[in-house]
Amino acid sequence: MKRMACGTAATIALAGLAACFSNPALDLNTDNFHIVQPTPLVMFTKVGDSIQLRLRLVNDVNNGAITSFVIAGVGSGISVRYDDKFRPYYLGGGDTLVVPVDKDIQQYYVKGLAPGKWTFSATATANTAAPAATMTVTVEAINLGAALSPTSGLNPGDVVTITAPAGTVFSQTSAVTFETGTVVVDSRSADSTQIRVVVGPGVSGVATVTKVGTAANGVIGVQTLKTTSALTAVPNITVAPTTLSTATPALGATMTVTLGGSLRFTSNSVVNIDGTPAWILSTSADSSAATIVPQAGSDGAVSYTGVVLSFLNSVGLALPSDNKTVTVGNTPPAVDPNTAARATAPTVVLAADAGRSIVITGAGTFANAGQCGGVSGDGCELYKFVLTGDGNFDIFFQWQGGSDLGLYRLNSTGGGASAMGGCDNGGQTSAGQPEECSVTGLAAGTYYFSVQFFGTGSGYPPSANTVIPTWYQFAVTTN
């Protein structure tokens, strides 16, 4: 039918005639109410939170019918509550607001009870033949609950399992952190419901896990959540159990330092003797032992920096040993006659790995000035090395007494003497050492290290500082 628009014809005041007209634009479709219309159709909420849902029974032109609804099939992870206070109005000419049972829009509160993807349906009582509307509700967790097991009695290296609450899943790339300390992911279950982590020293508190999703919705609603359970602090490691091959190595001799437990050496590790770094020549296949040469005169307690746990190799530790000490001998080595000339110079094999060293401890007569590349007026001791590829090196050079020494690099024919930027900067007296320098991008080839002595033949007057040292020592560390 057509809706009629009527009004008073003011121009015919005496007659009081009413003017009416038909407006085809105001079609009133009051039948065929066959669509249950929810707003919203898809809902998201969290455990303990609610979201409003409004329902209408409408026809094709979105007119609403007076009706109520029957809610059915409510999933166990949600509750649906009718809002009996929604949109009151005056009824029957009274002066009190009354909420009618049937009206053209109804409101409900949908509450999240458990994580997951849940559904329910709504059927209109004014037209039970109209298809029921099915609503989908995704409920997200607000935390991971008591997901940690175990939570106490742990030691570094133990495994803790984090289990996702029912209805939630982790990602295969979820990250795990605790309030203190560091953990390493050990494994993840194939269904992404569990993550096993290895705890390091000092780990404590609740866990935070990234990329937690709702199982039924995959990556939708991914969030970062915390556990409600917490770890009792994992004890810190206070000492490094240590075994020494000898506590009294000879001057320049090698010795082995072995770490106990799960401690391991890396390329950044340093073995200290009374605070003085020893040179690491190599480490064992499992990185638990290091072959070292202590510096001359470095007597005292053994300690470490940059050692790691085998299961946590991203965190360097600084630890004392378990009361182990080293005393380095001071007996000079015998003179090697082969070092007197390039033709007989011993071959030095440089360390291939970064952070590893070769150490030469020698003594000499320094009587072969003609072999020294024109640098020294007294003499030198020579060592040959063959570099198979370009390399970068740090060099440390020291010796006994207060005489003046320098360390030079010669080319394959004994010329091109170079102090390498800093290995002959000092003069006489103990203040002139150690000499330290670096070599960057040295091309492959054959070279000689020349330990140069500067005495009376180099212009110094005779003194205690022109006496040939009883020993010298230089280390070349690959970097």
Cα(108)–Cα(53) distance, integer angstroms: 5
Residue 474 identity: F
Q: How many CB atoms lie within 10 A of CB 322?
A: 13
For residue 109, with 0-12 CB atoms within 10 Å meaning exposed, 13-18 middle and 19 or more buried, which class applies? middle
Pairing relationship of beta strands 159-163 and 242-244 according to DSSP bridges: unpaired
Query: Using the 8-state DSSP alphabet, how is residue 167 labeled?
Result: T
Q: How far apart are CA 194 and CA 264, in angstroms?
A: 29
- Exposure of 200 by Cβ count < 10 A (0-12 exposed, 13-18 middle, 19+ buried)? buried
> Structure pTM?
0.73
- Residue 29 confidence (pLDDT): 53
Q: Residues 6 or more apart from 169 whose CB is under 8 A from it?
A: 191, 192, 193, 212, 213, 214, 215
Local structure of 457: helix, strand or coil: helix
| Whole-number pLDDT of residue 371 | 94
Residues in CB range of 141: below 8 A, 6 or more apart: 46, 47, 115, 165, 167, 168, 212, 214, 225
C-beta separation of 264 from 286 below 8 A:
yes
Nearest partner of 371 among 445, 450, 447, 459, judged by Cα? 450
pLDDT at 66: 94
Amino acid at the residue 351 = A
Q: What residues pair up with 39 in beta bridges, in sequence order?
A: 54
Spans in the chain with pLDDT lower than 50 = 1-28
Determine the Cα–Cα distance for residues 322 and 27; give it in Å rounded to an integer: 95
User: So what's the pLDDT on residue 13?
Assistant: 35
The domain defined by 337-478 folds into Jelly Rolls (2.60.120)
Please give the Cα distance from 373 to 416 (Å, whole number).
7
**Each residue of 260-281: pLDDT tens digit?**
989 999 999 999 999 999 999 9
The per-residue pLDDT for 388 is 86
Q: Given phi > 0 = left and psi -120 to 50 = alpha, else beta, which region is 104?
A: alpha
What's the pLDDT at 1? 34
- Bin 241: left if φ > 0, else alpha if -120 < ψ < 50, else beta: beta
Q: How many Cβ atoms from other residues are within 10 Å of residue 206's Cβ?
A: 18
Q: What is the CATH number of domain 35-140?
A: 2.60.40.10
